[in-house]
Amino acid sequence: MVKSTQGYPKHSVTLSVIGTGYVGLVTSACLANKGHSVICVDILRDKVSEINSGHAPFYEPGLDNLLAKVVGEGRLRATLDLEEAVLNSSVTIITVGTLTKDDHIDLSEVLTAVRQVALAITKKAAYHVIAIKSTVAPGTTDTIVMEILENVLGEKEDEAFGLCMNPEFLREGFALADFQRPDRIVIGTMDTKSFNSFLPLYQWADCPIIRTNLRTAEMIKYASNALLATLISYSNEIASISEGIGGIDIRDVFNGVHLDQRWTPFPNRKPASVERIRPGILSYLWPGCGYGGSCLPKDVQALRTHASTHGIETPLLDATISINAGQPRKMVLWAKQALGNLRQKKLTVLGLSFKPDTDDLRESPAITLVTELIREGARITVSDPKAMKVAAEGPLKGKKVRFVVNPREAIRGAHAVFLVTSWPEFKTLSKEDFLSLMATPCVIDGRLFFDGTNLKENGIIYFSCGGG
């Protein structure tokens, strides 16, 4: 069922948000900016203090400014005290992490938070709505979550609580724009009262609002992410076939695919000379060193495992995952093809975050690549405009890696350079830089980022997906 907020009562809500990660904090700041009062909760003391001082604990463009504004206006505060936050709000959104454990989705954070929220609700008389925004497998909210709520709060007929499933589609790097100008809002609900109590949060939204049952809302999120991952792995398989055949310009191949007007429509059916609409989906129809981040890898894996527990085979998802896993390894093989044994070779990895405009390193192909290169005995230098601190304190902690801010300095003396993240900062590297600064001018381009033809014509060894 598709609805808009037209005709529904408009009022501001006091809500609590449990978990102040990318989703929780962006949700909190944006809803506060839209006029609601938000109390966000985390278990990490430092995070809570940083938020209360108006600073974001991670990098997301625009978030620091927005947070300073809404904290300054008194519309957002953070606390360690979940019970106090629930008692002082009428809606609670759960945005804690859902990692993968043994290929299954790990629901422990979600279920702990649900239990804590339910216990807090027992101490209040008024109706309270709980919404799950964390990504969970279809059939989680209406079974496991509902069971916890009913155990703690009694049967739902008592109407002590409402339950919604409100998946989030924001993209890191574009999170504020995505949240504040959404293309759709999905609200899965257990009943009409839950829906009507939750909807005012989105009274400002000018987009379709899809009301579904709880498990359909969960599936919309997985279906969306599985499609994006599949497009990327499809592109990588086309690139591998092109590499094997040889003599194919992979950029022309994908530009040719994109020019199908079903991907790039003409505005208002104008003549062919008119510039096409280039939807964002095209960036998923482009080969590279693989998808990463906190969502696609774990969500595709979780959907596959969840399907298999229902006895359902998933040949397409299996292939998507296996193609993606092989992409960083391909870059290592290209380096060996160019340099032979990689032991003691100086190798530079440009880009650590899983994509530009974020410092998120979760499941980043760059981390897989660096780990493989270290295993090969290479000497590694890395450079990233935003993610080096997170890397040094996180996945690369204790590893023998040199961190260098300036890309020119980072490639000095290198035997090969790997481009993994398309940060615009790396576009400033020229063929002259590769030729004059590197020990061997060898560029392994994981994103079809540089002009390969130009580099090759100037004597630079160049590898990329599809041989482009």
Structure tokens at 219: 């599936």
d(CA 10, CA 239): 51
Closest approach, Cβ 153 to ligand NAD, in A, equals 18
Q: In whole angstroms, what is the distance from residue 122 CA to residue 90 CA?
A: 13
- Residue whose CB is less far from ligand NAD, 21 or 356: 21
Instruction: Using the minimum distance from each CB to ligand NAD, give the nearer residue, 172 or 363.
Output: 172
Please give the span between the terminal C-alpha atoms of the chain, in angstroms, as a whole number: 45
Tell me the window of 43-51, 200-208, 239-247, 252-260 that interacts with ligand NAD (CB under 6 A). 43-51
How far is residue 284's CA from residue 408's CA, in Å, rounded to a whole number?
Answer: 29
CA distance 444 to 423: 15
> 63-72 vs 22-33: helix axis angle to the nearest 10?
50
The closest of 89, 93, 77, 79 to 123, measured between CA atoms, is: 89
CB of 18 to ligand NAD, least distance (A): 5
Structural contact between residues 387 and 359, judged by C-beta atoms closer than 8 angstroms: yes
Least spacing, CB of residue 274 vs ligand NAD, in Å: 34
Which residue lies nearer to ligand NAD by CB, 32 or 41? Answer: 41
- 44 makes contact with ligand NAD (CB under 6 A): yes
Work out how close the CB of 2 gets to ligand NAD at its nearest, in angstroms, rounded to a whole number: 21
Q: How far apart are the C-alpha atoms of 104 and 100, rounded to whole Å?
A: 5
Identify the residue whose tokens are 């059939």.
139
> Under 8 Å CB-to-CB from 268, ≥6 apart: which residues?
none
- Nearest approach, Cβ of residue 97 and ligand NAD (Å): 3
Binding mask 161-200 for ligand NAD (x = CB under 6 A): -------x-x-x----------------------------
Shorter beta-carbon distance to ligand NAD: residue 228 or 382: 228
Residue 23 contacts ligand NAD per CB under 6 A:
yes
**CA dihedral in degrees (87, 88, 89, 95; nearest 10)?**
-70
C-beta separation of 202 from 226 below 8 A: no
Q: Does 60 bind ligand NAD (CB under 6 A)?
A: no
Residue with the shortest CB distance to ligand NAD:
21
Residue 283, burial from CB neighbour count under 10 angstroms (0-12, 13-18, 19+): middle
Q: How many residues bind ligand NAD (CB under 6 A)?
A: 28
By beta-carbon proximity to ligand NAD, the closer residue of 25 and 461 is 25
30, 40, 289, 295: the catalytic one is 295
Residues 6+ apart with CB under 8 A from 228: 284, 291, 296
41 binds ligand NAD (CB under 6 A): yes
The number of beta carbons lying within 10 Å of the beta carbon of residue 269 is 8
Q: Please list the alpha-helical segments (H only) found in 7-145.
A: 22-33, 45-52, 63-72, 82-87, 108-121
Considering only residues 287-306, where is the footprint of ligand NAD by CB under 6 A? 294-295
295 is an active site residue? yes
| Tokens linked to 371 | 């780990």
Choose between 23 and 411: whose C-beta lies nearer to ligand NAD: 23
The answer to the question of residue 18 lying near ligand NAD (CB under 6 A) is yes
- Quick note: the x/- pattern for ligand NAD over 129-168, rule CB under 6 A, is -----xx--------------------------------x
230 makes contact with ligand NAD (CB under 6 A): no
Instruction: Write each residue from 101 to 130 as x if it is in contact with ligand NAD (CB under 6 A), else as -, in one continuous string.
Output: --------x--xx--x--------------
Contact positions toward ligand NAD, by CB under 6 A? 18-24, 41-44, 47, 82, 95-98, 109, 112-113, 116, 134-135, 168, 170, 172, 294-295
Which residues are designated catalytic?
A: 295
